[in-house]
Chains A and B, each alone.
Chain A
């Protein structure tokens, strides 16, 4: 059992793609995948899974859903691969597609609503972000996971992933002002959680 998980868990980024016995660039792999080469697409998956899973995990704070969403994102990427144009970076294209998959999922679960601009802190959420005194050392990842969904989404997209408010507004359907308000709230809740 241990041996199996040793292999399953052992994943890393291969900076050099070995395909057909030659060093391949990412754009070689993308063109081959666009031509229906599933092996090339698997290599792309292997090299991007960490970023995409990390994004999904931080956005939904649930490892199993993050796995499903990662799979969904790559399946969607395969389906839309013909629409990818080489002038943009594949990583950027894939990342944005994954964000949309996650946002779609949040919406379908009612965890994200563009109408919902209520950003007042509810006592329940405040206390959720405040860990019990016994675990004083709060890890940032955990504190992010405990943020309310909308604040977490905006924080992850803006502060972790580097999207701007304009882009977030476009992807989520909220206004830039609301995006800023969510970010402000997320940062405040995180500081509060981390200072305990």
Chain B
């Protein structure tokens, strides 16, 4: 399962993520959507405070992040599990005059890093990255979103398309104005 990226490939992946970040922060959401494969799954698992299991005492799994997630395969309820259609709705909404929660429009700035190729299978790459996203709202409020993105990218002639993204947000209690941003 593990894979090592060549320096060229690592630079290509990072360049892809930098471009993506720039498009999102510049509110060029339609151009961002062009980086997305039409069979995308865009997921944001819910994160819960789980019970410590006595039998797992001393084991790594006892405090694993995975245990805290209610994701797409669980019988819990992820916060978002979206398709291309959902993303289109979000993207087009941004250009309407009555998208009130982003009026004035979202002022975001994100730093993406820790880009790590985890696995490769055919033309599909499994890639992790971290982000810090600063979001300023009118009224003096600003918010920090921190998280990990677990992506599946489709590689085609040196370029990439996003086929699956799972956003692991580092929250314990949600006191952020919306989790509806494009992370």
Whether A associates with B in a native complex is no
- Which B residues have a C-beta under 8 Å from some C-beta of A? none
